[in-house]
Structure 1
Amino acid sequence: MSYPTHITCRNGYFYYRVKVPVDLQPHFPTHFITKSLKTTDLSVAKTISVNLEHSVQRVFTLLRTGMLDGEMITKLISEILPTTRRQLVKTLPDIPAKKHPLSKMIKQYIEFKEPEWTPKTKLEMGGVFRFLLELLGDVDVTDITRQAVLDLRANLMRLPPNLHKRYPDQTIQQLLDRSDIHHMSTKSVNKHVGGIGGLLRYCLDIGVVTVNCATGLKLSEKGRVDEERSSYDVDDLKSIVANLPRKPTLPERYWIPLIGCYSGMRLNEICQLYVEDVQLVEGVWCFSINGAKDKRLKNQASERVLPIHSKLIGLGFIEHWEKVKKAGAPRLWPNLTWTEVHGYSNSFGNWYQRFNREHVTKDPKKVFHSFRHLVTDTLKQAGVQDSLIAELVGHSHGNHAMTMSRYGKRYQPKVLLESLKLLDYGVEIRPWQSS
């Protein structure tokens, strides 16, 4: 017979039994608290155990505050232990108030959040917390004040992005004293402030702190969302196509930028394509963008069927696809390998970043994602309706998303293709010549 949580039965009598949390076990003479409920009636046992559970959890919460001296700890523990165990507590040494160093609470928080974080999020948050430890030191989280978080935010606003990579030989204080460096974006500052906010919220939930001092301290992002990245212009496109490599052994370096230019697909959506994702749908060559196998989608709206622009077909893309298919390769870009954090886009993304800065532009706002801005802006200026653009680039249909998903079918490939034909940049491109 099964019993409610924390209730066990022994020789017909019911007992309350709960495991002492790992972080509190140093205070206790036992890892389990077991108290007789002195009844054989389950309904009575349930009633008594509710009061016991309240008392036990109250003691656990108070112990985690880190504000109790040894005498107070001993008294609290004695209140919830059976009589036979209380003498053991009295003989314990005077235990100082428990401390909660930032490094320990960060580790505990990451372990708590890890099941719901993607590998990429875990990597990013690891960097955020490493940064926080450098700026704040391994302080006790109970000593973090609102002013401390405000000072932290002010310092973040004066520091450069990726400082460990860009300035490996300089300390944070040296960088704070410099006036000739490019500062991290508001978005990056908010990511760090949000990191400590999440940590302190966790500490609040488990009773370590009494207030989240980082609440409401994110900066207002004054720039519009469409200004976070800049679109490529015609001169950029000319530089790109003039310098695209055409090595038969590295076809992805020629095709992936062009696919981005004439589709608006996200980098990882292109990099993770399988041969089977190139399909003839209703007489139209298309990319099937889906989350099958080891592929990842940003959101539900990202799954779509996207026509292949006639420009790509004219440059020889279908011939390239047929060659890869004939060779028996399962994936369209066999050179690209999968990583847990970045999927298939990591190595290509690193190469394109170098290519972009060397041959195209020094503007930090112009990156591979600029192709996506280029496509959406070109279609918008050509008068293409928002719902069509949203479906092409894998966005939801704004306020009409629910109506469209319930009652409206997706656009047919032929309709989408008519919109894609408007992507004519007037730039001459040499065809792919495979060998």
Structure 2
Amino acid sequence: MAYRLPAHLRRNRYGTLYFRLSIPADLQADFHQNELYRSLGTASVREATLIAHHLYVTISRIFVELQQMDAEDRKKAADAALKALKTSPGLRDRMRVERLQRALREQEAELDRREWEIVGIEERHSIEVKALNGAIGRLASGSTTTVPPSRPLTDAIAAYIEEKTTRARWTNKTLEKRQHWFRLFQQFMGERLGHEPRLKEIDRAACVSFLSLLQKLPPNMTKNHAGRPLDEVAALGLPPMAAASINGILGFLSGFFDWCKENPAFKIDHNPAYKLSIDESGTKQLRAFRDEELVALLSSPAFRSKTFLHPYHYWIIPMALHTGARLGELCQLGLSDIIEVNGVPCIDINDEEEKALKNRNAKRLVPIHSCLIEMGLLRYVAALRQRGETRLFPEINLSISASHDASNWFNDKRRYSDSCGVTDPETNFHSFRRTFITRTIKKDGGGSAHPHDVAPIVGHEHGLITMDVYFDDKDDAAERRETVEKFRLPPAALSIIPPIEDVSFGTRPPRQRRAARS
């Protein structure tokens, strides 16, 4: 039975695979040919299929854009596209570079492992010498005291944190969270054993007991219950932390124990937290806001009276809706992050000047939506610069975290969202981000953007090795602006938002009137 190649692939007599795509009939005259044909430089069907997929997505998008041009512009653009197709480097070369980079990282990891082996041999030698000297001393004195069974847990934690921070694997925020989890586990083991725990004293039963305890502990233990015995806190019957948080802690500990298994200096026989988790299927997932909820959130007394206690009370919701940015990313923006790229006003989301981001993908360029410009965002930024300010929201205290103040204002009980009647536990401030993504992609939400175009705007991985086979669009603000502009608020919600010149700050808005009792 003959093997059938995937769509758009052809093989020549030498085994090399080619990409082949028919040109739409209304564009063939501009290209002076009926199809595009290009060597992929590989005989591997698996590799060629991936490259062909990239080419199909990119070239199909070009075809759509050409069909919307007039005849003269279309001919020039078609010639440019053909030239780019013939002269630009192939994806295979990019993949080869990535493979080489991955090989270098693996070699680096192997060198690190061997270095740890050498350190472990030296430490074991030192321990054996000390043990031998101690045994001789005990024999001479008649003592029967034994050598401690293994290294203290604190030593392994310190070495693990040092390695991760030295290799720049964690951000400051991640380091703080990991240290909190370690302190929680150390406190649990200390209370369980009655002394400082050692690695080999941590068994599966101890980790199962820790999992059971976590299901009774509230979130933010260090903020409200620091120093209290864990059993005492668990007995308070407070709302427990989320299942995802519990699994995150256990998953992190499992990774730590795997590291100990491979590290000769802290060698353990097994991972006591291996695949230890609880079911998350019953956990409610956040969703995007519905049209009526958006109208309610923008119909608060503050928006109706056009009076706001702080500027971020006015800006943060429209900005979240029209950028898809996370709350912390918006709260920590500096005025220097409002820039212009190729004539397009943009927000540069970065980790400079001690700003914290979720991950490396979060660094990105987001064109400013026309609705924000109409509201007066650029005029507001200019006024702040004239006053000598450096941050977009200087009234927000960043000492605890970037999003602490704004999150309390919007999400806490009896705060903004509840006062607007939006109380569904499946929504919070993060739902604005989901609303932007959903409405930009879904046609029934008003948009029609491709997920691959939305991903770099919201700081997600796009799932492909590269999105710029022929065109480097990472800084193409004009193209990104087209994607951002596909987001549209429902007209009933958009009409409520006043321009910056019509609002005042520093005054509490009137209280929401209670509905009359029936």
Q: Which range is displaced more, 228-237 or 251-260? A: 228-237
- 1:372 is matched with which residue? 433
- 1:391 is matched with which residue? 456
SS of equivalent residue, structure 2 residue 366: strand
Q: Which range is displaced more, 321-330 or 372-381? A: 321-330
CA 398–203 in structure 1, closer or farther in 2 if over 3 Å, else same: closer
In 2, distance between residues paired with 1:54 and 1:176? 40
- 1:157 is matched with which residue? 215
In 2, distance between residues paired with 1:390 and 1:223? 28
- 2:205 is matched with which residue? 147
SS of equivalent residue, structure 1 residue 126: helix
In 2, distance between residues paired with 1:212 and 1:307? 47
1:343-354 counterparts in 2 under 5 A? 344-354=402-412
Unaligned runs of 5+ in 2: 1-117, 505-518
Counterpart check, 1:258 vs 2:323: no
Counterpart check, 1:58 vs 2:128: no
- 2:247 is matched with which residue? 190
Aligned partners of 1:59 and 1:76 also within 8 Å: no
In 1, distance between residues paired with 2:120 and 2:200? 24
In 2, distance between residues paired with 1:159 and 1:190? 14
In 1, distance between residues paired with 2:205 and 2:243? 19
- 1:317 is matched with which residue? 377
In 2, distance between residues paired with 1:120 and 1:53? 30
- 1:24 is matched with which residue? none
Scaled by the length of structure 2, the TM-score of the pair is 0.58
* CA drift at 1:324: 0.9
Aligned partners of 2:473 and 2:479 also within 8 Å: no
In 2, distance between residues paired with 1:138 and 1:108? 24
In 1, distance between residues paired with 2:230 and 2:458? 40
User: For the aligned residues, what is the CA RMSD?
Assistant: 4.0
Aligned partners of 1:309 and 1:421 also within 8 Å: no
Aligned partners of 2:441 and 2:449 also within 8 Å: yes
CA 431–267 in structure 1, closer or farther in 2 if over 3 Å, else same: same
In 2, distance between residues paired with 1:418 and 1:165? 44
Aligned partners of 2:324 and 2:433 also within 8 Å: yes
CA 130–297 in structure 1, closer or farther in 2 if over 3 Å, else same: closer
* CA drift at 1:203: 4.4
- 2:466 is matched with which residue? 403
- 1:54-113: CA deviation from partner (whole Å, max 9, x where unpaired): 9754334669xxxxxxxx9235887xxxxxxxx899679765432656566556655565
- 2:176 is matched with which residue? 123
- 1:262-316: CA deviation from partner (whole Å, max 9, x where unpaired): 1101223222322233234444332233344433444444333322222222222
- 2:274 is matched with which residue? 215
Aligned partners of 2:320 and 2:432 also within 8 Å: yes
Unaligned runs of 5+ in 1: 1-51, 64-71, 79-86
1:7-406 counterparts in 2 under 5 A? 56-60=122-126, 73-75=131-133, 95-98=145-148, 102=153, 106=157, 109-110=160-161, 113-115=164-166, 116=168, 117-136=170-189, 137=191, 139=193, 140=197, 141-162=199-220, 172-173=230-231, 182-204=239-261, 205=263, 206-207=265-266, 209-219=268-278, 221-222=280-281, 228-243=285-300, 244=302, 250-339=310-399, 342=401, 344-354=402-412, 355-360=415-420, 361-382=422-443, 383-399=448-464, 402-405=465-468
* CA drift at 1:187: 1.8
- 2:26 is matched with which residue? none
The one-letter amino acid of 2:458's match is: V
Aligned partners of 1:232 and 1:374 also within 8 Å: yes
Aligned partners of 2:214 and 2:246 also within 8 Å: yes
- 1:417 is matched with which residue? 481
Q: Percent identity?
A: 26
Aligned partners of 2:341 and 2:477 also within 8 Å: yes
* CA drift at 1:386: 1.1
Q: Which range is displaced more, 254-263 or 92-101? A: 92-101
The one-letter amino acid of 2:272's match is: C
The one-letter amino acid of 1:388's match is: D
Aligned partners of 1:278 and 1:288 also within 8 Å: yes
In 2, distance between residues paired with 1:283 and 1:311? 17
Aligned partners of 2:138 and 2:144 also within 8 Å: no
Q: How many residues align?
A: 361
* CA drift at 1:371: 1.0
In 1, distance between residues paired with 2:119 and 2:232? 53
Counterpart check, 1:429 vs 2:497: yes
SS of equivalent residue, structure 1 residue 287: strand
Aligned partners of 1:142 and 1:208 also within 8 Å: no
In 2, distance between residues paired with 1:332 and 1:53? 50
The one-letter amino acid of 1:396's match is: E
The one-letter amino acid of 2:419's match is: H
In 2, distance between residues paired with 1:163 and 1:54? 36
CA 295–59 in structure 1, closer or farther in 2 if over 3 Å, else same: same
Aligned partners of 2:322 and 2:487 also within 8 Å: no
CA 97–112 in structure 1, closer or farther in 2 if over 3 Å, else same: farther
SS of equivalent residue, structure 2 residue 132: helix
Aligned partners of 2:254 and 2:273 also within 8 Å: yes
In 2, distance between residues paired with 1:107 and 1:53? 16
